Structure 1
Amino acid sequence: MSELFDIFLGSVRDGFVQVSAFVAVTVLLFSYVQYRTDGRLVKKLEENRRAGPIVGALMGLTPGCGGAIVMMPLYIRGSVSFGTVVATLIATAGDAAFVILVLAPEAALYAYGIALVTGVVFGYAIDAFGLGVGRVDRAVRQLRPTLTDGGVATPVAGSKVHHYDEGVTCERHDHGPTRESGTMRSVTLAALAAWWVAAAAGLGAGVLYLLRGAPDVPMVAGLSFAGVFTVAGITGTTLSAYLYFVGRTYIGHGDVGRAKDTFGSVYETLTHAAMETSFVTVWVIGAYLLYEYTILFTGLDIGSAAAAAGVLAPVAGAAVGLIPGCGPQIILSAAYAQGAIPFSALTANAISQDGDALFPLIAIDKTAAVVASIYTTIPAVVVGVALHYTWTAVFGFPMFGFGVIG
């Protein structure tokens, strides 16, 4: 029991300081840009339709799903092409990018760079040649009623939905608290303020941790480096769990994993960044615990198992990317940082995953979403398998631990 508790406490502490504190800064910067531009960025995108696949891929490449989500309503409105949608989704980094950027920045540079190039090339190819859009659509029509012609946005008859803010069917809290409780709202606002204090302290401790060469940090409390590292980590994760599971129903802005075109105030900007980071924190801690407890209870060497899987590893990485949302992708990214999967699987997943950007497309145009998912998976498998065979041919083994810090 002592070992179980030590693993739990260590994961809770390290996940927040080593990942979440850095995530908070990145999300805050992107949210602040949205706040300062007041939606002008989106208008510029609509005015440059010919550059759609390039712009879409660059937007998808921004950490988190905000940039990619911004592109989806533009397709629904007919402002960008279907190739732009696919390019965006292929390059989408999602919330998993935060994990890799912090734990393996060099791997992130190469993996997402490959995804960017793949997205641009494949996006323009779809716009120019179709690449079998009609054949794929005919297959999809056998599964469900057709909502579009597979390449041109056609709003559903009678529907007034033209923007993801109005059309996403998953839980939302953008327009006010879902529960009336003055006391709980006050508690949540206090938790939000305390969360930012913990994030700031965690960021300072995290920077020092990296500058010192990622040493082992004892589990102690106090004003020393180790004490701040421990207190900030445990406090930050605890508050993140509260905000994610409880606080978002009272705070009036808890649309986790979604992005708005713009934010009306600094408060909304800070709140969105905290809620987005809390979401990432919960999944990162879950991934850490899943990995550590699997090793503890089974004695399984996941890295050896992945190596034995051979070319199936990148195929599996691409398959995981088919799952909408960022949670499974965060788990896979954490596994890579732990040395459990090869770089080819990480890259295949980076190309295949659509993050939360697929949800607004599913809500309004299911056929386009299915076709887009197919189109992001094909290049993911091709590139992932090519990387696997190339690296193995040159060095004789799959690439594990590439670019991982510490």
Structure 2
Amino acid sequence: MADLQSILFASLRDGYVQVSVFVAVTVLLFGLVQYRTNGALLRALEENERLQPLFGGLLGLTPGCGGAIVVMPLYVRGSVSFGTVVATLGATAGDSAFVILALAPEAALYAYGIALAASVATGYLVDSYGIGVARVDAAVSRVSPTATTDGGTVVNSRVGPNPTHEYPSGSPTHSHEAGPDRSSKILTPLSHAAHVAWWVTAAGGLVLGTMYLLRGGPEVALTVGVGFDGAFTVFGLAGAVLSLYLYGVGRHYVGEGQVARARDSFSSLYDTATHAAMETSFVTVWVFAAFLAYEYGVVLTGLDVSAIAAGAGVLAPIGGVAVGLIPGCGPQILLASVYAEGGLPFSALASNAVAQDGDALFPLLAIDPKAAIVATIYNALPALVVGVALFFLWEPVFGMPEFGFGVA
């Protein structure tokens, strides 16, 4: 029981400091761009339909998941194509990018460059031909018998409302409604205070998270006190509790009751910061769930994902794809750490880079789970091709060993 409690607290702490604070920064940066340009970024993405998969891939390529998270609500309201979603999720570098950039920068350049090219190409193929639509739809229908997926929508000359996102009232049902939906003499000021406190913990967590990555992702003791481990735990648990409060209660009192929704523009800096905090809190809840599921799964079943991914021969890149199929950044961070220690070949890192969707898959799972399943399937196919091809061709073509390539 003590071990299970330690896993709970460690998962809350690590999820916030290792993942959430970086998501917060990227979402805030995109929000600030939206605020300063009055929504020009998203309008440019929506209006340039032919370039959407490329733009989506570039947004996904930004370290962390903030850029990719921005794209998901746009698909739900019919502003971007499904191929754009596929390209964005496939190119998503996720929070594992911070580990690879710090510890194996040359490998990061190759892996994420390959992921961008493969994902954008797949996105354009999906938009142009709806490849494999019948088979994918059949597979998804077996998972959800009532499903009518739009994963194979052929865009051709225009992007329009998605078939599974009908708007009976004539307006998008997922549109953002500004302003709080509740008011309370106690909870309204408390929620605003929690929002401010959340950003204080996010700033401290960002510093600690960066130090953690620069130190190579060491083990951090679950303790309270003076020093790095103590501060890591205090800021992590405080940020986690505040995130749970903001998502469960606070968002209804500070004007962001509808999370995982795209915003065209922001009225003020505070409004921009509020949106970033609520979006990050929403993702944080899913990250906590993923961390706990993974950690409890390891403890209760004895499963060692890193050992499976590091299997001999061609099983290594296939293992990289398998790990990439797990939603969230926790398992990907683990795989990146193992690679940086020389425990995995480059083909496994590259296949994982294509297959992983990072935390951006969580909003899509919440608002359109069937589309999320289809996108994951589409990304797994090029990931397998890339990983297996690199396994057989890397050393003969490039003349460099796969294990330890690019590690600083």
Match among 96, 100, 107 for residue 100 of structure 1: 96
The reply to whether residue 350 of structure 1 matches residue 356 of structure 2 is yes
Question: Which SS does the other structure have where 2:265 is aligned?
Answer: coil
Percent identity between matched residues is: 48
Pairs within 5 Å for 1:122-133: 122-124=122-124, 130-131=128-129, 133=130
Which TM-score applies when normalising by structure 2?
0.71
| Residue pair 2:324, 2:332 contacting (<8 A) in 1 also | no
Query: Who is 2:248 aligned against?
Result: 245
Query: Who is 2:133 aligned against?
Result: 136
The reply to whether residue 330 of structure 1 matches residue 333 of structure 2 is no
- TM superposition shift of 1:238: 1.5
| Residue pair 1:92, 1:350 contacting (<8 A) in 2 also | yes
- Structure 2 CA distance for partners of 1:188 and 1:100, relative to 1, 3 Å: same
| Residue pair 1:320, 1:353 contacting (<8 A) in 2 also | no
Query: Who is 2:144 aligned against?
Result: none
Question: Which SS does the other structure have where 2:247 is aligned?
Answer: helix
- Structure 2 CA distance for partners of 1:372 and 1:343, relative to 1, 3 Å: closer
- Structure 2 CA distance for partners of 1:403 and 1:24, relative to 1, 3 Å: farther
For 1:33, the aligned partner's letter is V
How far apart in 2 are the matches of 1:195 and 1:307? 38
- TM superposition shift of 1:381: 3.0
Which TM-score applies when normalising by structure 1?
0.71
Task: Provide Cα deviations, 1:178-217, integer angstroms capped at 9, x if missing partner.
Answer: 4443322222222111111111222233344455565555
- Structure 2 CA distance for partners of 1:358 and 1:312, relative to 1, 3 Å: farther
Task: Provide Cα deviations, 1:296-329, integer angstroms capped at 9, x if missing partner.
Answer: 444443322334486567557657877xxxx823
Question: Which SS does the other structure have where 2:197 is aligned?
Answer: helix
Quick check: 234-243 or 210-219, which moved more?
210-219
- TM superposition shift of 1:371: 7.4
Task: Provide Cα deviations, 1:273-300, integer angstroms capped at 9, x if missing partner.
Answer: 2223223433444444444444444444
- Structure 2 CA distance for partners of 1:400 and 1:288, relative to 1, 3 Å: farther
- TM superposition shift of 1:253: 0.6
Quick check: 273-282 or 23-32, which moved more?
273-282
- TM superposition shift of 1:117: 0.8
Match among 359, 373, 385 for residue 382 of structure 1: 385
- Structure 2 CA distance for partners of 1:355 and 1:393, relative to 1, 3 Å: farther
How far apart in 2 are the matches of 1:293 and 1:140? 32
- TM superposition shift of 1:28: 1.5
How far apart in 2 are the matches of 1:378 and 1:188? 44
Query: Who is 2:178 aligned against?
Result: 175
How far apart in 2 are the matches of 1:23 and 1:58? 16
| Residue pair 1:19, 1:103 contacting (<8 A) in 2 also | no
Pairs within 5 Å for 1:212-291: 216-222=219-225, 224-291=227-294
| Residue pair 1:319, 1:352 contacting (<8 A) in 2 also | no
How far apart in 1 are the matches of 2:153 and 2:226? 62
Q: CA RMSD in A?
A: 4.7
